[in-house]
A and B are shown apart, each in its own frame.
Chain A
Amino acid sequence: MLHTNNLKFEYPDGPSFVFPNIQCGKGEHLLILGESGKGKTTLLHLLAGMLQAQGGEVSIAGQNISGMKDAALDQYRGEHIGIVFQTAHFMEAMGVEDNLIMPQYLTNKAIQRERARALLTRFNLLHKAKQKPNALSVGEQQRVAIARAVINNPSVILADEPTSALDDKNADEVIALLEQQARDTGACLVIVTHDKRLKDKFSKQIVL
């Protein structure tokens, strides 16, 4: 599903990173641990094609995304990669349900409101479907962000510090949801974090 080879990245006047090779198969869960400044977010952005590596390559669902052009890359990312960020961002002007179907619309897929509602039901958020995202609690927002990341049934789910802003209870809930969604869709789940609470929950780990 996801593998990298000799990934290198150097900021114009900042640090440079050489990353270990990553392999993550269908349905596999991988935890990437690292202290601040070890390039966790940089690695996640490289995996998502949001940054272009200066060396090496990233392959997702059999496609080498390192050489892909702008618009094609945006489309491919939308279809195959679901991303959960440290802080959940939304289209603030639109309701929770409309935010959920945004990846379907942006990848030119048929809009399936039933799928959005099914996810909201599963995440216990259906009663918030029409509300604006900023009316939700941080924990609820992170759950909506996970639902949005998985709505297109991506091959790879990337999560950047998904729990660092949450208390223990919410953190447990979010990790459980991520794992469950990855299992349900057969996606490979990659979590980058410095959150020590997650250390014992994943058998496959890489430390930067």
Chain B
Amino acid sequence: MNLLKIAWSNIRFKPMNTLLSIVLLSFGIGIITLMLLLEKQLGEKFNRNIKDIDFVLAAKGSPLQSILANVYHVDVPTGNIKVADAERIIKNPMVEKAIPLAYGDNYEKWRIVGTNADYPAHYGCVVKEGRMFEEPFEATIGALVARETGLKIGSNFVSSHGFDNADGDAHHHEKPFTVVGIFETSDCVIDNLILTPVASTWLVHETEEEEKPFANTAPAAETKPEETPPAAPVQQYENKELTGDEVMKQMAAEAKMIMPGMVKKVDNNREMTAYLIIKRNRGAFGLLSNMTKDTNMELANVAVQNNRLLNNFGIGMDTVLAIAILISIISFLSIFISLINSLKERKYELALMRTMGGTRSKIFALILLEGLVLVVLGYIVGLLLSRLGLVVLSSFIKDKFHYNISDLGITKADLALLAITIFVGIVASLLPAIKALKIDISKTLANG
């Protein structure tokens, strides 16, 4: 026999009151912790993905979309830009580093991004198995891609056009990619990408439909490939009867020629989706942005757009959070009311406890303990609910954006919330406990 056992018996004796208090509190707590978890995990994810990238140079459109597409890889790009135009900006001394991104294809909804080794290096992402891509149609894939698709080193795969239409209706390219390496898990966007040299993404379209641009640029007229003569080198591949290896070698040779910055004779009509820019000095944005006038390009400021995103996101979060806090307050109120109510019914037995040797402090502690057991139970159920919610949300987000946010561990916020819950629980049971303490045992028992 101890006070906790007595408190527990009393709580179980009123199952409906108990249920109401616990359901309310667990919903309140559950939603609050879920919001905090989401905010923390998404915020961390966003920050890891931004990682010192200052601007994104991409086609005119919405700057926010430009960030979503090229930094977070959750939206479609705004279009393509000419390498020649872009070079005027990225060669500016105010630009410390510019990472090229060229894409438009996917493999089973995982984005294939043409870039160079600077991109993974920027995130501190290292190759775990195999090596970094070097030649066109070599691919080094993110850890999550490898895990989800089962692609291994040496695996071949064929890309499809677009970003999320991996199903049969999409156009499939014929040139297969070969996996040459797998990145270590980095908890940033590289995990979800298939990286390949920029040249691959150019070649993949040239070899088939020269005139068909990327998915999001204006579609070309409905011409069939055989009606238009393909570009000269490509024609060569297709007319001569070459083996697959020979085709690859030739294409690689061409690709090396056209890798930006490697050879001066870059074809100025080549296109790129975007450049991620790290600035050298302050105030670069205004000047560089001015240089995009009269082009189809736009410079998006990552910090500004990210704040816009988080603010919009934050309003929704705050609303949900406010509702959750309201539910929690109601639940504390319900605990308070049920303790006060039960006091009326129980004043005989509380007076009785005094006649059997129970001191005032013991009775005070008993009522406090009953309130505490309720809030701690509500907290535990709420914590479980929040984790369940996170698993559900995470599978949704993972499906949609390949974002993994399923860290279910206990956070500092959870512990802070436990402390607050216990504190408010004590406050809610304080008045009932004081009332219990003041019961006049003689009057109570004389009337019974």
Count A-B pairs with CB separation below 8 Å.
Answer: 79
In the bound complex, what is the Cα–Cα distance between A93 and B6 (angstroms)? 8
> Is there an interface contact between B356 and A45, defined as CB atoms closer than 8 Å?
no
> Is there an interface contact between A102 and B10, defined as CB atoms closer than 8 Å?
no
> Is there an interface contact between A78 and B10, defined as CB atoms closer than 8 Å?
no
Q: Which residues, 1 to 34 on B, are CB-close (under 8 Å) to A?
A: 1-2, 6, 9-10, 12-13
Report if B424 contacts A (CB, 8 A). no
The winner among A79, A91, A98 for most chain B CB atoms within 10 A is: A91
Q: Is the interface of B mostly helix, strand, loop or mixed?
A: helix
Report if B110 contacts A (CB, 8 A). no
In the bound complex, what is the Cα–Cα distance between A111 and B6 (angstroms)? 14
Q: Which chain A residues border B361 with CB–CB below 8 Å? A: 71
| Identity of the chain B residue whose Cβ is nearest the Cβ of A46 in the assembled complex | B442
Q: Which chain B residues border A42 with CB–CB below 8 Å? A: 446
> Is there an interface contact between B359 and A75, defined as CB atoms closer than 8 Å?
yes
In the bound complex, what is the Cα–Cα distance between A152 and B357 (angstroms)? 10
In the bound complex, what is the Cα–Cα distance between A148 and B353 (angstroms)? 12
Q: Which chain B residues border A89 with CB–CB below 8 Å? A: 348-349, 351-352, 445, 448
Q: Which chain B residues border A152 with CB–CB below 8 Å? A: 357
In the complex, what's the smallest C-beta–C-beta distance from B324 to chain A, in angstroms?
A: 32
Q: Which chain B residues border A98 with CB–CB below 8 Å? A: 1, 9
In the complex, what's the smallest C-beta–C-beta distance from A60 to chain B, in angstroms?
A: 14
In the bound complex, what is the Cα–Cα distance between A105 and B359 (angstroms)? 12
Report if A28 contacts B (CB, 8 A). no
> Is there an interface contact between A78 and B356, defined as CB atoms closer than 8 Å?
yes
> Is there an interface contact between A74 and B357, defined as CB atoms closer than 8 Å?
yes
Q: Which residues, 255 to 278 on B, are CB-close (under 8 Å) to A?
A: none
> Is there an interface contact between A94 and B356, defined as CB atoms closer than 8 Å?
no
In the bound complex, what is the Cα–Cα distance between A113 and B362 (angstroms)? 22
Report if B173 contacts A (CB, 8 A). no
Q: Which chain A residues border B353 with CB–CB below 8 Å? A: 91, 102, 106
In the bound complex, what is the Cα–Cα distance between A42 and B448 (angstroms)? 13
In the complex, what's the smallest C-beta–C-beta distance from A152 to chain B, in angstroms?
A: 8
| Identity of the chain B residue whose Cβ is nearest the Cβ of A93 in the assembled complex | B13
Q: Which chain B residues border A123 with CB–CB below 8 Å? A: none
> Is there an interface contact between A106 and B9, defined as CB atoms closer than 8 Å?
no
In the complex, what's the smallest C-beta–C-beta distance from B198 to chain A, in angstroms?
A: 74
In the bound complex, what is the Cα–Cα distance between A107 and B356 (angstroms)? 8
In the bound complex, what is the Cα–Cα distance between A79 and B355 (angstroms)? 10
Report if A70 contacts B (CB, 8 A). yes
> Is there an interface contact between B349 and A45, defined as CB atoms closer than 8 Å?
no
| Identity of the chain B residue whose Cβ is nearest the Cβ of A94 in the assembled complex | B9
Contacts A51-B442, A74-B359 hold; do A91 and B6 have CB atoms under 8 A apart? yes
> Is there an interface contact between B448 and A45, defined as CB atoms closer than 8 Å?
no
Q: Which chain B residues border A50 with CB–CB below 8 Å? A: 355, 441-442, 445
Q: Which chain A residues border B362 with CB–CB below 8 Å? A: 106
> Is there an interface contact between A106 and B348, defined as CB atoms closer than 8 Å?
no
Q: Which residues, 62 to 119 on B, are CB-close (under 8 Å) to A?
A: none
In the bound complex, what is the Cα–Cα distance between A186 and B121 (angstroms)? 91
In the complex, what's the smallest C-beta–C-beta distance from B356 to chain A, in angstroms?
A: 4
Contacts A91-B349, A94-B9 hold; do A78 and B446 have CB atoms under 8 A apart? no
Q: Which residues, 417 to 448 on B, are CB-close (under 8 Å) to A?
A: 441-442, 445-446, 448
In the complex, what's the smallest C-beta–C-beta distance from B274 to chain A, in angstroms?
A: 68
In the bound complex, what is the Cα–Cα distance between A48 and B2 (angstroms)? 25
Q: Mark B140-161, 1 if CB is under 8 A from A, else 0.
A: 0000000000000000000000
Report if B358 contacts A (CB, 8 A). yes
> Is there an interface contact between B355 and A75, defined as CB atoms closer than 8 Å?
no
Report if B172 contacts A (CB, 8 A). no
In the bound complex, what is the Cα–Cα distance between A51 and B6 (angstroms)? 27
Q: Which residues, 175 to 212 on B, are CB-close (under 8 Å) to A?
A: none
In the bound complex, what is the Cα–Cα distance between A74 and B359 (angstroms)? 6
> Is there an interface contact between B360 and A71, defined as CB atoms closer than 8 Å?
yes
> Is there an interface contact between B356 and A71, defined as CB atoms closer than 8 Å?
no
In the complex, what's the smallest C-beta–C-beta distance from B3 to chain A, in angstroms?
A: 9
Contacts A51-B442, A89-B348 hold; do A106 and B360 have CB atoms under 8 A apart? no
| Identity of the chain A residue whose Cβ is nearest the Cβ of B358 in the assembled complex | A106
In the bound complex, what is the Cα–Cα distance between A70 and B363 (angstroms)? 13
Contacts A89-B349, A90-B349 hold; do A111 and B359 have CB atoms under 8 A apart? no
Report if A87 contacts B (CB, 8 A). yes
Report if A41 contacts B (CB, 8 A). yes
The winner among A45, A50, A104, A111 for most chain B CB atoms within 10 A is: A50
Report if A32 contacts B (CB, 8 A). no
| Identity of the chain A residue whose Cβ is nearest the Cβ of B12 in the assembled complex | A93
> Is there an interface contact between B446 and A101, defined as CB atoms closer than 8 Å?
no
Q: Mark A29-57, 1 if CB is under 8 A from B, else 0.
A: 00000000000011001001011000000
| Identity of the chain B residue whose Cβ is nearest the Cβ of A101 in the assembled complex | B1
In the complex, what's the smallest C-beta–C-beta distance from B177 to chain A, in angstroms?
A: 69
Q: Which residues, 327 to 375 on B, are CB-close (under 8 Å) to A?
A: 346, 348-349, 351-362
Q: Which chain A residues border B10 with CB–CB below 8 Å? A: 93
Contact of B9 among A93, A101, A148 (CB under 8 A): A93
Q: Which chain B residues border A71 with CB–CB below 8 Å? A: 359-361
In the complex, what's the smallest C-beta–C-beta distance from B9 to chain A, in angstroms?
A: 4
In the bound complex, what is the Cα–Cα distance between A74 and B12 (angstroms)? 28
Contacts A91-B349, A111-B1 hold; do A77 and B355 have CB atoms under 8 A apart? yes
| Identity of the chain A residue whose Cβ is nearest the Cβ of B354 in the assembled complex | A74
> Is there an interface contact between B355 and A87, defined as CB atoms closer than 8 Å?
no
> Can you give 14 contacting A-B residue pairs, CB < 8 Å?
A45-B445, A70-B360, A78-B355, A87-B448, A89-B352, A89-B445, A89-B448, A91-B9, A91-B349, A91-B352, A91-B353, A93-B6, A104-B1, A105-B2
* 5 nearest CB pairs, A to B: A78-B357, A93-B13, A107-B357, A106-B357, A93-B9
Taking A74-B354, A74-B359 as given, write out 19 further A-B residue pairs in contact, using a Cβ cutoff of 8 Å, ordered by the A residue number: A48-B355, A70-B359, A71-B359, A78-B356, A78-B357, A83-B355, A89-B351, A90-B352, A91-B353, A92-B346, A94-B9, A98-B9, A102-B1, A102-B353, A102-B356, A103-B356, A103-B357, A105-B2, A107-B357
